[in-house]
Structure 1
Amino acid sequence: MSNSGRKKPRLVADKRYGAPKASSGAKPRKPSPKRAARPRKSRSRNPIVRFVSGVFSWVFRLVWGIGWRLGAVVFLLLGLAVGYTYTTLPEVDEFLDGRARGSVTLLDREGDVFAWRGDQFGGVVTADTVSPHLKNAVIATEDKRFYMHPGVDPIGIASAIRINLSEGRGPLQGHGGSTITQQAAKLLCFGVKYDRTQWESEAAYIRDCRRTSLARKLKEAVYAMAMEAKYTKDEILSIYLNRAYLGGGAYGAEAASQRFFGKGAAQLSISEGAMLAGLLTAPSTLAPTANLERSQNRASVVVRLMRDQGYISASDAATALAQPAELSEAAERQAGGYFADWVMSSGPEFFTRDTTEDVIIRTTLDQRMQTAAEEALSYIFENKVREGSKAQAAIVVMSADGAVRAMVGGRKTRVTGAFNRATQAKRQTGSAFKPFIYATALELGYSHDSTVVDEPFCLDVPGSGRWCPENYTRNYYGRVTLTDALKNSLNIPAVKISESVGRDLVRKVASDFGIESDLDAGPALALGTSESTLIEMTGAYAGILNGGSSVTPYGLVELRLLGDEESLMGTTGGIRERVIQEDAARELIWMMHQVVQSGTGGRAKLPDREVAGKTGTTQAARDAWFLGFTADYVAGVWMGYDDNTPLTGVTGSGLPAEIWHETMLRVHEGVEPRPLPMLRPAPKPAPSQPVRREPQSGNAIENLLRGLFGAQ
């Protein structure tokens, strides 16, 4: 095939070596016109602008050059610090219980918890075992980005600084922007353990761990990031739930749940979980035992946060807001009040106040009777005492063996660590002491219908001169029986009988019945000038009820360590030695029954059962007493001012007897009436001379008499 007439194709090589020369007869190829080059615009700048721009450019390059290098160094140092801290962290189990002290849990006579002391823990919980409502409430309240940050939340910190500045505080004052991990790090005190030898007190140690500064914040951040590297998120949350203080002496979710609601942390409802989560910001102030309404208001804020963050539905939130969490009955009783304080003081310190173990103490307390005593006292002061009065009162209720069932140590009943007027106040007993004079006389052979002459009477007291006692009425009643003398609380017959049987014997009988305070050695002993505590006096009356044997009042029944079945100590009191014979005690009970039936104790009378007792009023009415018993329980009431101011218009036969009446009415609700264990003599005329009977042989007082005065 011919290719004549066709243009010869160009070869690739032509491009390398240039175009071939045009052959003769070929038209030269016109060069393509070149685009005209754009002339460069000359930029004329102000020299000042060029200088400033150059300076800024130089500074930027300098700062950037230093900045990224410095940032790299800081990042490296931070990494090294986090890495080192990581190596110091123990296994998570070691961080779940960090109390410096143990706890004491007190149980009533039925085995129900009524009080706690020390640092209550309750047991280890985890993020998986607690109620999901509590877990969600804590995250919603304390750290909503908990599962997203590496231990430190820059967004939270920036927000906290903005809020603090807008409210006129310093950037680190007020809101801290701390994550749950950072709070857990602070609760761990960055791994520094409490050492008694290095710290003035545990409180000082805690204050140092909680103080805020820039350096502490940096340390907190390092420790938090190390924790994030070492533990899972749920393990960190578990540390927080076990370590956080939630008020009322409760450390950790389980203790707080038991303390406030009487249930485990796994059983909490939405409203209960919200209440516990709300306590984290200010546990002492917001604790429901301190102010339930304030705690409920805070919980309602937490419920709304849970709703807004999608943890609960709107209907669940509405239900929780309509039905806020309430305290359990034990929590409502605060911390056991005066009774719990007394029991704690009666046990060994290393198992009560200074324990490092978790201790369980079973007690004699009857919570129904405790409520009865508190309600009775409140009723009398609200209805019978003038408004604004500073007068105080105390009540003790016990069984005949000395087991204390209720105790009120003052008008403010829901207190802890307060002055206990039932056990700590030593006051003159007044005529409440007289039963021990007549107990001595009955033991020595006198009878309830023996007589004594009530007449002007004086004694010469060595070192004091002539002493002439008077009756409260300042009248004289001639020859009276011992029963009438006790019933009407006559002073002169009491002094005469005391002098007749011997003051030393009266003091011994009173002391043997349990009145341990120093007793007056003079003749005024018979008028109750000696001091005693209410619990001593009530215990002494219990000895009369039980047939003449002394008792040691007690509240502690058993002490053991948590988890142990074997007890470390048992009952600390009970019935002791016999003081007077049973016949003498039964006769005395009958005489004291007449005090209530037709004497000074009439206001203590109960409608459905027999009562025996005795009133007491001291000089100038500085103290007023009523002590008495039924067949089932003994109760004592004292009333007066802490500063010994005289009472106005109050005697033992008045308000104290009424408090006793109101207390025992409530105490005996549902209790079948039983007759008093007393001698019931047939009525007969009083003899003209004192009738004496021989004391039973082998009696301790008879032996003492023989030793003092020789055989008669």
Structure 2
Amino acid sequence: MSDTPKRKRPLVADKRYASKTRTTAKKPAKKAAPARRKAPKKRAKRSGITGFLTAIISWVLRLIWKITWRLTAVVCLALALAVGYHYTTLPPLEALLDGRASGSVTMLDRNGAVFARRGDQFGGVVTANSVSPHLKNAVIATEDKRFYRHFGVSPRGIASAVRINLSEGRGPLSGHGGSTITQQVAKLLCLGEPYDPSAGISEKQYEANCRRNSIQRKAKEALFSMAMEAKYSKDDILSIYLNRAYMGGGAYGAEAAAQRFFSKSAASLNPAESAMLAGLLTAPTTLSPTNNLDRSQNRAATVIRLMRDQGYLTQAEADAAQASPAELSAEAEAQVGGYFADWMISEIPDFMRSTTSDMQIKTTLDQRIQLAAEEGLNWVFENKVREGSKAQAAIVIMSADGAVRAMVGGRKAKVSGVFNRATQALRQTGSAFKPFVYAAALDLGYSPNDLIEDAPYCQNIPGSGEWCPRNYTNTFKGLVTLTEALKNSLNIPAVKISESVGRELVSRVASQFGIESDLAAGPALALGASESTLTEMTGAFAGILNGGSSVTPYGLVELTIMGDQEPLMGRGGGIGERVIQESAARQLVYMMEKVISEGTGKRAQFDGRELAGKTGTTSAAKDAWFIGFSADYVAGVWMGYDDNTPLKGVTGGGLPTDIWREAMMRIHAGLPHNPLPMDAPVPQSGLGDTQPAPAPQPRRNEGTIIDQVLRDIFGGSGSGSSGRAPSGGDR
């Protein structure tokens, strides 16, 4: 046994790191036993009626889901095929920018200045990026504020429109349409269906058909819109819209409208002008500034508020635009054209109206004279007609060869496409017809100094009984010269002369002078019982001024297709064949000069000029006329009511004569005093003017031979005046 104690182990760790050469054998770790999967809990089956109902509902829902996704897939496929089909039919962008059905007409006055534009005006192609940014923003703000975010159709917009329509008591598709700009372009393109004249419908019917709102049409419109969205970019679609949309005043597209209303390019429009054009898209004809500037400005104010609300304008910019609303340019004011321009459009042959070519018409219009006519009419209505009167008036002014220098077809001059009382209104002529009775007599050899008896006179009209004409004053003057009978507008002498020379001759003379309307067949022909237009009557008086030759009033001098050198048609009127001898015409002018210097037309006098004319008032004063001329111009004035209401206290020698004087006085300002082409009758030596004078061959009058002839025909001049007859002579 050893005494040595056991050696204690040092209080140090064993070698912490094993030698690189020594390895320590590690016992392999025991594999963990795989975890047992818990068996899923089985749902407790519901028994009874609850379980049965749950199973049925679950089955129905699965069936609905299967049907729905399959049906959705079929619909999407059909939709894609339909959109794809329309996609293949869409033409290149360039083919869609000018969609006019007819061309424009530019009218030049006698000096070559543009005074009117008509037809479908197209100022040139613009793009969404070439127009003023203000115009682009105004159109989007007004027509489709989500334009850049939808796929051609706006479900939200449609739902909103249907809700508004139903709330206002209309059908879901009546009224607000909820159409996007893309859908509006689809309508403008008529869903790719071009107009076919051989289809048997008019262009208006075609356009109405394109814009109908049936469910089938709206569905096709949606497909066409989505196809456009796939074919063209958003800016391309907006460009089509800015080129094809009608903006009033005959202007199609932004460039034409900018030139038409503001005489500037669409690229340089300011916010106020842009807002006005965008506002026109809702109702271009009603809101057109050439029709109603105030209404157009009010609509533009609404557009400016929309632009401000959507962030296109700052508050300061909106306030500035509201404070300075857009105004028509001076050129646009002058280029309305009014009644004269409408008349020119009616003169274009039918076969040329459907062309898409732009035309230019040189006309006879004198804008200085046109302004004078308008001012003269307005002055009389403002100063001599009671306020609120609905009476209308018309003026036509022409040269002796029938070249129409001015035309006013109603009290509103700055209009287009309205009823033209100068060319369309057929009205009884009254005593304004009497110069043609005396023209027939003078051409047969009567003298202005021949005598006729103004006394009670009656005729028995077969089938009508006794007819007894009366004078306006219901008095009789006894023996009078033809000149006195005309200047005082006496009815009985006019009827006697007409019966003496023959109604057929009087009708023929009037027709050859240019009165194309049917003339009365009875003795009342001499008193203007027939109807005519103011333009016809004024043209007939021009024939008297020019020495007795017929006149066809005309305004068109030359019509040319833009770009062509040779005109397609030339002047359609002017002086025609001789109707009466020049000597007879000069004597008639002398007699008509007495109407103004001494007779019923005294109020027409101005500046000491030689003037001739004739007043006219119809039975019951439904129409009042004054037609007369200087050596330079012929002017006709008609006044009355459109519904034939009698005029109160108005005769041809009253307000119509005043209008004539005011217009002619302005027209002749600065012109020399030229003498009328007239010959005073030379009395026989030693005889007074009221004595019978030798007449040119054929000799047919001696003293009061007219009365003797009538006594032989009718058995006396008549002693009673109980029969009713026109009394259309003037004071």
Partner of 2:234: 233
Query: Following the alignment from structure 1 to structure 2, what is the Cα–Cα distance between the partners of residues 156 and 529?
Result: 62
Partner of 2:142: 141
Letter of the structure 1 residue corresponding to residue 451 of structure 2: V
- Deviation at residue 630 of structure 1 after TM alignment: 1.6
Partner of 1:454: 453
**Larger mean Cα displacement after TM superposition, 79-88 or 258-267:** 258-267
* Residues 161 and 171, structure 1, Cα contact 8 Å, conserved in 2: yes
- Deviation at residue 214 of structure 1 after TM alignment: 6.0
Partner of 2:489: 489
Percent of aligned pairs sharing the same letter:
67
Matched, 1:559 2:559: yes
Partner of 1:348: 349
What are the within-5 Å matches in structure 2 for residues 53-202 of structure 1? 73-152=74-153, 177-196=178-197, 198=199, 200-202=201-203
What are the within-5 Å matches in structure 2 for residues 98-497 of structure 1? 98-152=99-153, 177-196=178-197, 198=199, 200-212=201-213, 216-328=217-329, 336-352=337-353, 354-355=354-355, 357-386=357-386, 391-411=391-411, 413=413, 416=416, 418-448=418-448, 450-456=449-455, 458=457, 463=462, 469-497=469-497
Query: Following the alignment from structure 1 to structure 2, what is the Cα–Cα distance between the partners of residues 592 and 453?
Result: 17
Query: Following the alignment from structure 1 to structure 2, what is the Cα–Cα distance between the partners of residues 471 and 364?
Result: 40
Q: Secondary structure at the match of 2:435?
A: helix
Q: Secondary structure at the match of 1:350?
A: helix
Residues 531-566 of structure 1: CA deviation (Å, up to 9, x unaligned):
433222211111122232221111222223344332
Query: Following the alignment from structure 1 to structure 2, what is the Cα–Cα distance between the partners of residues 653 and 164?
Result: 58
1:11–1:145 distance in 2 versus 1, CA, 3 Å:
farther
Letter of the structure 2 residue corresponding to residue 272 of structure 1: E
Aligned residues: 678
Query: Following the alignment from structure 1 to structure 2, what is the Cα–Cα distance between the partners of residues 455 and 157?
Result: 80
1:56–1:345 distance in 2 versus 1, CA, 3 Å:
same
Letter of the structure 1 residue corresponding to residue 298 of structure 2: N
Query: Following the alignment from structure 1 to structure 2, what is the Cα–Cα distance between the partners of residues 562 and 18?
Result: 104
* Residues 606 and 665, structure 1, Cα contact 8 Å, conserved in 2: yes
1:97–1:499 distance in 2 versus 1, CA, 3 Å:
same
- Deviation at residue 634 of structure 1 after TM alignment: 0.9
Residues 642-692 of structure 1: CA deviation (Å, up to 9, x unaligned):
555544433221222122223323333454543333347899972464223
Query: Following the alignment from structure 1 to structure 2, what is the Cα–Cα distance between the partners of residues 659 and 318?
Result: 45
Letter of the structure 2 residue corresponding to residue 327 of structure 1: L
**Larger mean Cα displacement after TM superposition, 173-182 or 613-622:** 173-182
Query: Following the alignment from structure 1 to structure 2, what is the Cα–Cα distance between the partners of residues 506 and 5?
Result: 153
Q: Secondary structure at the match of 2:281?
A: helix
Q: Secondary structure at the match of 1:324?
A: coil
Query: Following the alignment from structure 1 to structure 2, what is the Cα–Cα distance between the partners of residues 278 and 47?
Result: 68
**Larger mean Cα displacement after TM superposition, 565-574 or 636-645:** 636-645
* Residues 290 and 415, structure 2, Cα contact 8 Å, conserved in 1: no
1:302–1:516 distance in 2 versus 1, CA, 3 Å:
closer
Q: Secondary structure at the match of 1:283?
A: coil
Residues 191-216 of structure 1: CA deviation (Å, up to 9, x unaligned):
22233455744444434433446665
Query: Following the alignment from structure 1 to structure 2, what is the Cα–Cα distance between the partners of residues 186 and 68?
Result: 33
- Uncovered stretches (5+) of structure 2, i.e. residues with no partner: 1-12, 699-731
**Larger mean Cα displacement after TM superposition, 682-691 or 537-546:** 682-691
Q: Secondary structure at the match of 1:627?
A: strand
Query: Following the alignment from structure 2 to structure 1, what is the Cα–Cα distance between the partners of residues 523 and 183?
Result: 72
- Deviation at residue 570 of structure 1 after TM alignment: 1.0
**Larger mean Cα displacement after TM superposition, 570-579 or 92-101:** 92-101
**Larger mean Cα displacement after TM superposition, 592-601 or 169-178:** 169-178
Residues 72-107 of structure 1: CA deviation (Å, up to 9, x unaligned):
555444444333322221111221233444444444
Letter of the structure 1 residue corresponding to residue 423 of structure 2: T
* Residues 260 and 331, structure 1, Cα contact 8 Å, conserved in 2: yes
1:505–1:138 distance in 2 versus 1, CA, 3 Å:
same
* Residues 394 and 422, structure 1, Cα contact 8 Å, conserved in 2: yes
Q: Secondary structure at the match of 1:286?
A: coil
Partner of 2:688: 686
Letter of the structure 2 residue corresponding to residue 658 of structure 1: D
1:492–1:232 distance in 2 versus 1, CA, 3 Å:
same
Q: Secondary structure at the match of 1:281?
A: coil
Letter of the structure 1 residue corresponding to residue 99 of structure 2: G
- Deviation at residue 613 of structure 1 after TM alignment: 0.9
Letter of the structure 1 residue corresponding to residue 511 of structure 2: S
**Larger mean Cα displacement after TM superposition, 139-148 or 493-502:** 493-502
**What TM-score results when the alignment is normalised by the length of structure 1?**
0.80
Letter of the structure 2 residue corresponding to residue 651 of structure 1: T
**What TM-score results when the alignment is normalised by the length of structure 2?**
0.78
* Residues 398 and 405, structure 1, Cα contact 8 Å, conserved in 2: yes
1:499–1:690 distance in 2 versus 1, CA, 3 Å:
farther
Aligned-residue Cα RMSD (Å) equals 4.4
* Residues 537 and 636, structure 1, Cα contact 8 Å, conserved in 2: yes
1:154–1:580 distance in 2 versus 1, CA, 3 Å:
closer
1:616–1:131 distance in 2 versus 1, CA, 3 Å:
same
**Larger mean Cα displacement after TM superposition, 606-615 or 505-514:** 505-514
Letter of the structure 2 residue corresponding to residue 192 of structure 1: E
Residues 609-629 of structure 1: CA deviation (Å, up to 9, x unaligned):
332111123344343321101
Query: Following the alignment from structure 1 to structure 2, what is the Cα–Cα distance between the partners of residues 534 and 458?
Result: 31
Query: Following the alignment from structure 2 to structure 1, what is the Cα–Cα distance between the partners of residues 167 and 439?
Result: 78
**Larger mean Cα displacement after TM superposition, 454-463 or 571-580:** 454-463
1:13–1:160 distance in 2 versus 1, CA, 3 Å:
farther
* Residues 105 and 113, structure 1, Cα contact 8 Å, conserved in 2: yes
Q: Secondary structure at the match of 1:395?
A: strand
* Residues 397 and 407, structure 1, Cα contact 8 Å, conserved in 2: yes
Letter of the structure 1 residue corresponding to residue 93 of structure 2: V
**Larger mean Cα displacement after TM superposition, 334-343 or 168-177:** 168-177
- Deviation at residue 602 of structure 1 after TM alignment: 0.8
Query: Following the alignment from structure 2 to structure 1, what is the Cα–Cα distance between the partners of residues 166 and 652?
Result: 64
* Residues 617 and 652, structure 1, Cα contact 8 Å, conserved in 2: yes
Residues 465-524 of structure 1: CA deviation (Å, up to 9, x unaligned):
876655433444454444333222234444455456555544443333223344456555
Query: Following the alignment from structure 1 to structure 2, what is the Cα–Cα distance between the partners of residues 11 and 73?
Result: 73
**Larger mean Cα displacement after TM superposition, 597-606 or 529-538:** 529-538
* Residues 133 and 269, structure 1, Cα contact 8 Å, conserved in 2: yes
- Uncovered stretches (5+) of structure 1, i.e. residues with no partner: 21-30, 697-712
Query: Following the alignment from structure 1 to structure 2, what is the Cα–Cα distance between the partners of residues 161 and 646?
Result: 51
1:695–1:115 distance in 2 versus 1, CA, 3 Å:
farther
- Deviation at residue 271 of structure 1 after TM alignment: 1.5
Partner of 1:634: 634
Residues 302-323 of structure 1: CA deviation (Å, up to 9, x unaligned):
2233345454454443332222
Q: Secondary structure at the match of 2:362?
A: strand
**Larger mean Cα displacement after TM superposition, 410-419 or 421-430:** 410-419
**Larger mean Cα displacement after TM superposition, 104-113 or 155-164:** 155-164
Letter of the structure 1 residue corresponding to residue 276 of structure 2: M
Q: Secondary structure at the match of 1:287?
A: coil
* Residues 445 and 692, structure 1, Cα contact 8 Å, conserved in 2: no
Query: Following the alignment from structure 1 to structure 2, what is the Cα–Cα distance between the partners of residues 174 and 479?
Result: 73
Partner of 1:592: 592
Q: Secondary structure at the match of 1:365?
A: coil
Query: Following the alignment from structure 2 to structure 1, what is the Cα–Cα distance between the partners of residues 479 and 217?
Result: 86
Q: Secondary structure at the match of 1:272?
A: helix
**Larger mean Cα displacement after TM superposition, 78-87 or 459-468:** 459-468
Q: Secondary structure at the match of 1:194?
A: coil
Query: Following the alignment from structure 2 to structure 1, what is the Cα–Cα distance between the partners of residues 193 and 142?
Result: 27
Letter of the structure 2 residue corresponding to residue 247 of structure 1: G
1:47–1:248 distance in 2 versus 1, CA, 3 Å:
farther
* Residues 481 and 686, structure 1, Cα contact 8 Å, conserved in 2: no
Query: Following the alignment from structure 1 to structure 2, what is the Cα–Cα distance between the partners of residues 465 and 541?
Result: 34
